[in-house]
Amino acid sequence: MKTLTKLGTAAVVASFAAGAAFADGHAQKWDMPMAYAATNFHSEHGVIFADKVREHTGGAIDITVHAGGSLFGGGDIKRAIQTGQVPIGERFMSAHANEAPLLGWDNLPFIATTYEDNAKLWAAAKDTVNAQLADLNLVALYTCPWPGQGFYFNKEVASSADTQGIKFRSYNSATATFAEELGMIPVQIEAAELSQALATGVASAFISSGSTGYDRKVWEHLSHYYKVNAWLPRNYVMVNTQVWEGLDAEVQAGVQKAADETAAACAAKSAELANFYFDELAKNGMSVEDAGPEFLAELEKIGAKMTAEWLETAGADGKAILDAYNAN
């Protein structure tokens, strides 16, 4: 793992401000960019987190949430935090797997396909992931899983014979790999841009949870959702390392308490909403069904290949995560 060069001017300013937090009796104001719509449960829990931070720090830190990519686009959030342009923000972890392959731990197909197993996988990965994030000048405050991932299409799909040449919205290296293995053409598209991409034909298929389909009203463009439950990816709220280390111990403890409480609430809401999203897709005219046996068998074969490739790139740390998970 390579250490990010520290510190840019903005990060120095952020670090100084963090050290001075509440010294003069005024709250330190943090802007928190998030990539998903304000009505998405991740963004809603960002607001809950901000409220809890104010409560548990006695008002020392006042966080303003900027949802929907309104402050920084999804692809720019991590860099903005690393360089101190903002102190805190949220992104889905596997978006950074190209830079640090270990961070694709939550996109291993068919390894941990229930909320319980996903929690066990995160427990096995947490310490190693945090060490990797430290090298990127980041501290993870909390993570929250999405519901299981399935496929959206604008036609019936029984096997890869039906997916050739389709333009497929990808959001990280794992989804791009799935697309290529199925003969599709991956197109990198942020969630905030998805509706426009579907409307203009830039993409006509993607893999995601029921949440994204519901948020973006994809029934206006697509007709089929196939339940696959390939993985439960995680978003994480991260803070700049210098900002975090600049907080006094009492404020740090308050922020972490808020993070721990929000993580539990967000995971519970994700599980609660999983079937709701399926019902809403169906109510709006989409065919919502389990993937057929031929298609699923193909996906599982691709998944096994992807896991093997991940183990090669993630090395001993990746193997340690899976060994610890499998031992439980």
Mean pLDDT by 10 residues, the chain (328 residues): 43 45 72 95 98 98 97 96 97 93 95 96 97 97 97 98 97 91 96 93 96 95 96 97 97 98 98 96 98 97 95 96 95
**Residue 144 and residue 238: Cα distance in Å, rounded?**
12
Which is nearest to 226 in space by CA: 169, 148, 171?
Answer: 148
**Residue 315 and residue 303: Cα distance in Å, rounded?**
18
In the prediction, which pLDDT does 190 show? 87
C-beta separation of 176 from 99 below 8 A: no
Rg (alpha carbons) of the chain, rounded to whole number: 20
Residue 182: other Cβ atoms inside 10 A: 23
**Which pTM was predicted?**
0.89
C-beta separation of 33 from 89 below 8 A: yes
C-beta separation of 31 from 70 below 8 A: no
- CB contact set of 323 (below 8 Å; sequence gap of 6+): none
134-150 CB burial, b ≥16 within 10 A, e <16: eebbbbbbbbbbbbbbb
Hey, is 206 helix, strand or coil?
Answer: strand
Hey, is 201 helix, strand or coil?
Answer: coil
Question: Which amino acid, 233?
Answer: P
**Residue 196 and residue 220: Cα distance in Å, rounded?**
11
In the prediction, which pLDDT does 6 show? 44
In the prediction, which pLDDT does 107 show? 93
**Residue 109 and residue 27: Cα distance in Å, rounded?**
44
Which is nearest to 291 in space by CA: 165, 95, 109?
Answer: 109
In the prediction, which pLDDT does 192 show? 85
Reduced DSSP (H G I as helix, E B as strand, rest coil) percent helix, strand, coil of the chain, to 5? 55, 15, 30
- As a dihedral over the C-alpha atoms of residue 313, residue 170, residue 183, residue 281, rounded to 10 degrees, the angle is 130
Q: Which residue has the tokens 């079937």?
A: 275
Q: Which residue has the tokens 């990816």?
A: 233
Q: Label each residue of 45-77 as H, E or C.
A: HHHHHHHHHHHHCCCCEEEEEECCCCCCCHHHH
Question: Which amino acid, 221?
Answer: H
**Residue 14 and residue 24: Cα distance in Å, rounded?**
16
Residue 273: other Cβ atoms inside 10 A: 18
